[in-house]
Structure 1
Amino acid sequence: MSNAVPDTERAWTVGTAPGIFPSIGHPIALLRRPLDFLNSLPARGDLVEIRLGPLRAWMACHPEVAHQVLMDTRTFDKGGPLYNRLRPLMGNGLVTCRQDAHRRQRRLLQPDFRPSRVADHADMMRREAEVACREWRAGGEVDVSAVTLALTTRVMNHVLFSDSLGGAAAAEVGERLAVIVRGLFVRTAVPVDAPFRVPTPANRRYRHAVDRVHTIVDEVVARRRRGGPDGDRDDVLGTLLSAAREGSSGVTEQEVHDQLVTLLLTGAESTALCLASALDLLARHPEAERRLHAEVDAVTADQPRPGPDELPYTRSVVAETLRHRPPGWLFTRITTQETTLAGQRLPRGTTVLYSPYLLHHDPASFPDPERFLPERWLPGATADPRGAMLPFAAGSRKCLGDTFAVAETTLALATIAGRWRLRHLPGYAERLRPAATLGPRSLVMTSEPRVHAPEGTAPPARSLALRATTAARAQDPRTAGDNGVDDA
């Protein structure tokens, strides 16, 4: 029998998604209009059956059902189409490993991403954001998608490799990463391998991009190894090499490689998309932009280099961006034994999906979900009574870098907003096409230098800082759904 968390007494509803094509299932709907398809599912039930080709899968459409999946990691382990496609790319790293290997891996890497360690990187994050917008010109066009990915790749280069990746290699990683994420979603929605073995130009580009990322990481590791123990630095690569030399930790050379590839790809891509989405959404919502500018101007007048907790409204913008457009928008799990979910008996090996995008856009959890309202997350607001906010998952497999990502995005957004206002090009229309992650991938905007508000028109810096103290953990998307086990 399963040791899953028992269902509550409520009467769950179980349904089937409409529009099944014979022998194909729902991949056409997922590929053509994935977000609309997801948003249609809660009306069908709390747990909804979908078909991925011949594969029968179940989508968790209620927050409690999603939490049961996320909190019982031994019954609902990492697996299914998404992770089957990610493992050839990331190997057996922290994101893709099975539950029996996860605790050891997380304990090893956790110290590099604790809040105190994140605070040590704050100046570096601000500095890289300053570099990102240093060459902008009034009225000039800015490739926001490229700029944000280059920024987050440089940040991860510092954290993982102490900048030893090199500028050219870091730029190439960003380019290859864009190819990889475009190809991953198609490989997830189409659960058969045959189409991807054909040497089409797209398949060749994907394989070449994967090979190059692996090669670049191997070259960095080899250079560090040649330096011996005395060449170790205070970075993630140093942590991994030290553990591998000890022998008793169980870290192999392959795991060193897999962890670095995993953290490089997930750390750069997801944060870049969140930052680009925030800049895009602020340009569409002038009142939210005005409030953010007022906070940044007031706080930096008193504290030139504020931390993320001193910027409560900016953090709320990041939180609402994560709700509105979670970069990680669709995930799969696989049952390791027979179990019951929302009253539905599931045999061993069943694929279960959950979607932060679906949960974040359900009006039962977030009224008027299509509106961008950072005020949902300010101190005193009760934005998420049902626990539906899951941008970083929950439980023992909650994202290791959640605090890091929120801090990086908050500081980068404040740094850019203190200097520039970004505007959409004439005729621009939003075209969100999810890949392995969700966010704008070809966003070009024009830059306008900021004219700071006259003294007295912005909220007092001291009151903002005081509010930040009380807001540090309140309505924080980093802790939404957390199980309180910091090093699980």
Structure 2
Amino acid sequence: MESVLPVPWAPGAKPVVGHLPEFLRAPLAFLRGLPEHGPLVEIRLAHKPVVVVCDPELTRTVLLHDRVFDKGGPLFERLREAGGQGLATCPAAEHRRQRRLMQPAFHQARFPHYARIMTERISAVVGGWQDGRTLDLAVEARNITADIVLSTVFGTSLDPGLHKRLAADFDTLLAGFTRHSLLPRPLRKVPTPGNVRYEEATRRVRRSMADLTAAYRERAADGDGEETSLLSMLIAARDPESDTPALTDDELVDQAVTMYSAGTETTAGAVNWGLYLAATHPAVHARLTAEVNEVLGGRTAGWDDLPRLTYTRQVFTEALRMYPPGWFLTRQTETDTRLGGYPLPKGTTLAYSPYLISHLPDLYPDPQRFDPDRWDAHGAGGTRPQIPVTVFGGGARKCIGDEFSQIEGVLLLASLLSHWRIHLHRDSLSVPRLPQLTLNPGRMRVTLTAHVRETV
């Protein structure tokens, strides 16, 4: 008879608080130390036991079998407060229907159109900066990616006032998601300043997206809507059995919140890490800028440039490996099951970490080293570089916008370096305020200098 072993515990748990102090103090180092205790390791975050998946193949199993290991646990409970039942947060039973509705908007044939929008919005912002200007690139990159998302979702650029308010509210949400996930429910309801800010930001985000959706409907009714926007496709979608709208107004808002949050943070963070890591590795920076100058010569990158921006893509991909935006995610078992031989009863909260998997030395030798050549298509593998394991998920719930994000990231990274010499204020870079939802850098001050180009 096969023996049944319990999931091993990570050492160092304290009474009452468990591993929470260590997790809060240095979460990335804490995660990197878990695989030595087993492929599955149980930790306790105060009152909550969590089984962390430390093995890449078992992580893949969790992602592929999403009906057994469904999106759930305290993290997704908090995400649903703002994102509702959007594509990224809805349970598996609902996901297939939503995915079918949204998939046409992410068909390969649509990417040249999206790339044109990206080029236009990048050029409008980056081309308007002044020589010698000092700015916070973390803020500016996020503004650009948010503008691109809103242009593709709603077919319009964003009012500057609303732009600023949405950015501030999402900052509050990103900083508070994980903290609220770890707090017991009664403590989340205590009207502390942090809790009040979080609740108000949640309401404002949904109200802002509801207003944008309603305004789009009015424009569409007057014949002014962008027929190729994502929202127009979702509004036009019909239930095949009743010919009624496939999505309610609330569901449209859910999708808008999901697209804005996912499309803004993921790309902007990876671009900023790419710029920072290149700036701190002179050989990489020289090779990257040489490619950008040769391909673009001072203009904004476009769809037709992508095949020649190979090293730029490698830098972007390596930045995603080293600092994946979604660094700690949860699932919940929907039935009694086994994983890697270990029994997991129904209702078990699991966590997997793209950061942990992307720093396993068996997958990525010397994982703390920034090395874009890991993704060289002409290297040992001889195939097109693939995004690091788990960064965009897997299985039926693999991120629908993964290729969109990669195209946007390469175009933005290349365009920034094409238009400007970017001098990083290294002492100004602030580390992520972990444990927040994303692993994106905080403040990132830079000074811009115009390129001096030879004229004939």
Q: TM-score, normalised by structure 2?
A: 0.91
Query: 1:51 is matched with which residue?
Result: 44
* 1:234-245 mapped onto 2 (5 Å cutoff): 234-243=228-237
Query: Does the CA-based 8 Å contact 1:48-1:59 persist in structure 2?
Result: yes
Decide whether aligned partners of structure 1 residues 316 and 386 sit closer, same or farther in structure 2, where only a CA change above 3 A counts.
Answer: closer
Query: Does the CA-based 8 Å contact 2:83-2:89 persist in structure 1?
Result: yes
Query: 1:194 is matched with which residue?
Result: 186
Query: 1:269 is matched with which residue?
Result: 265
**2:127 is equivalent to residue 134 of structure 1:** yes
Query: 1:445 is matched with which residue?
Result: 446
Cα distance in structure 1, aligned partners of 2:119 and 2:220: 32
**2:347 is equivalent to residue 346 of structure 1:** no
Query: Does the CA-based 8 Å contact 2:39-2:53 persist in structure 1?
Result: yes
Deviations 1:381-411 (A, max 9, x none): 3579999622101111000100000000100
**2:391 is equivalent to residue 391 of structure 1:** yes
Deviations 1:338-358 (A, max 9, x none): 111111100011111110000
Cα distance in structure 2, aligned partners of 1:244 and 1:53: 46
Q: CA deviation at 1:240?
A: 2.0
* 1:95-134 mapped onto 2 (5 Å cutoff): 95-134=88-127
Cα distance in structure 1, aligned partners of 2:190 and 2:98: 36
**2:432 is equivalent to residue 416 of structure 1:** no
Q: CA deviation at 1:116?
A: 2.1
Query: 1:288 is matched with which residue?
Result: 284
Matched to 1:196, the amino acid is R
- Deviation larger for 261-270 or 314-323: 261-270
Matched to 1:323, the amino acid is R
**2:12 is equivalent to residue 16 of structure 1:** no
Query: 1:327 is matched with which residue?
Result: 325
Decide whether aligned partners of structure 1 residues 387 and 257 sit closer, same or farther in structure 2, where only a CA change above 3 A counts.
Answer: closer
* 1:356-375 mapped onto 2 (5 Å cutoff): 356-375=354-373
Query: Does the CA-based 8 Å contact 1:244-1:253 persist in structure 2?
Result: no
Cα distance in structure 1, aligned partners of 2:20 and 2:455: 54
Query: 2:293 is matched with which residue?
Result: 297
Query: 1:3 is matched with which residue?
Result: none
Query: Does the CA-based 8 Å contact 2:298-2:418 persist in structure 1?
Result: no
- Deviation larger for 127-136 or 308-317: 127-136
**2:199 is equivalent to residue 207 of structure 1:** yes
Among 25, 28, 33, which residue is 2:21 paired with?
28
Gaps (5+ residues) in structure 2?
none
Query: Does the CA-based 8 Å contact 1:124-1:155 persist in structure 2?
Result: yes
Q: 1:212 is paired with a residue of what secondary structure? A: helix
**2:163 is equivalent to residue 163 of structure 1:** no
Query: 2:31 is matched with which residue?
Result: 38
Decide whether aligned partners of structure 1 residues 251 and 430 sit closer, same or farther in structure 2, where only a CA change above 3 A counts.
Answer: closer
- Deviation larger for 100-109 or 44-53: 44-53
Query: 1:308 is matched with which residue?
Result: 306
Query: Does the CA-based 8 Å contact 1:92-1:258 persist in structure 2?
Result: yes
Query: Does the CA-based 8 Å contact 2:50-2:348 persist in structure 1?
Result: yes
Query: 1:185 is matched with which residue?
Result: 178
Matched to 2:320, the amino acid is L
Query: 1:483 is matched with which residue?
Result: none
Query: Does the CA-based 8 Å contact 2:324-2:355 persist in structure 1?
Result: yes
Query: Does the CA-based 8 Å contact 2:174-2:438 persist in structure 1?
Result: yes
Matched to 1:256, the amino acid is L
Cα distance in structure 2, aligned partners of 1:276 and 1:324: 12
Cα distance in structure 2, aligned partners of 1:419 and 1:228: 36
Cα distance in structure 1, aligned partners of 2:387 and 2:340: 17
Cα distance in structure 1, aligned partners of 2:455 and 2:345: 65
Q: 2:311 is paired with a residue of what secondary structure? A: helix
Cα distance in structure 2, aligned partners of 1:57 and 1:206: 24
Query: 1:406 is matched with which residue?
Result: 406
Cα distance in structure 1, aligned partners of 2:331 and 2:149: 27
**Cα RMSD for the two superposed structures:** 2.8
Query: Does the CA-based 8 Å contact 2:147-2:157 persist in structure 1?
Result: no
Matched to 1:130, the amino acid is S
**2:75 is equivalent to residue 79 of structure 1:** no
Q: CA deviation at 1:283?
A: 1.2
Q: How many residues align?
A: 445
Q: 2:324 is paired with a residue of what secondary structure? A: coil
Query: Does the CA-based 8 Å contact 1:365-1:386 persist in structure 2?
Result: no
**2:227 is equivalent to residue 253 of structure 1:** no
Cα distance in structure 1, aligned partners of 2:404 and 2:368: 27
Query: 1:476 is matched with which residue?
Result: none
Q: 2:187 is paired with a residue of what secondary structure? A: helix
Cα distance in structure 1, aligned partners of 2:454 and 2:318: 25
Q: CA deviation at 1:44?
A: 1.2
Cα distance in structure 1, aligned partners of 2:432 and 2:131: 27
Cα distance in structure 2, aligned partners of 1:414 and 1:448: 16
Decide whether aligned partners of structure 1 residues 439 and 224 sit closer, same or farther in structure 2, where only a CA change above 3 A counts.
Answer: closer
Cα distance in structure 2, aligned partners of 1:382 and 1:19: 41
Cα distance in structure 2, aligned partners of 1:244 and 1:226: 19
Decide whether aligned partners of structure 1 residues 140 and 301 sit closer, same or farther in structure 2, where only a CA change above 3 A counts.
Answer: closer
Cα distance in structure 1, aligned partners of 2:414 and 2:246: 41
Decide whether aligned partners of structure 1 residues 69 and 94 sit closer, same or farther in structure 2, where only a CA change above 3 A counts.
Answer: same
Decide whether aligned partners of structure 1 residues 164 and 408 sit closer, same or farther in structure 2, where only a CA change above 3 A counts.
Answer: closer
Matched to 1:415, the amino acid is S
Cα distance in structure 1, aligned partners of 2:361 and 2:453: 37
Query: 1:460 is matched with which residue?
Result: none
Cα distance in structure 1, aligned partners of 2:416 and 2:62: 38
Q: CA deviation at 1:442?
A: 1.3
Q: CA deviation at 1:30?
A: 2.0
Q: CA deviation at 1:55?
A: 2.3
Query: 2:212 is matched with which residue?
Result: 220
Matched to 2:415, the amino acid is T
Q: 2:427 is paired with a residue of what secondary structure? A: coil
Query: Does the CA-based 8 Å contact 2:328-2:351 persist in structure 1?
Result: yes
Matched to 1:274, the amino acid is A
Matched to 1:330, the amino acid is F
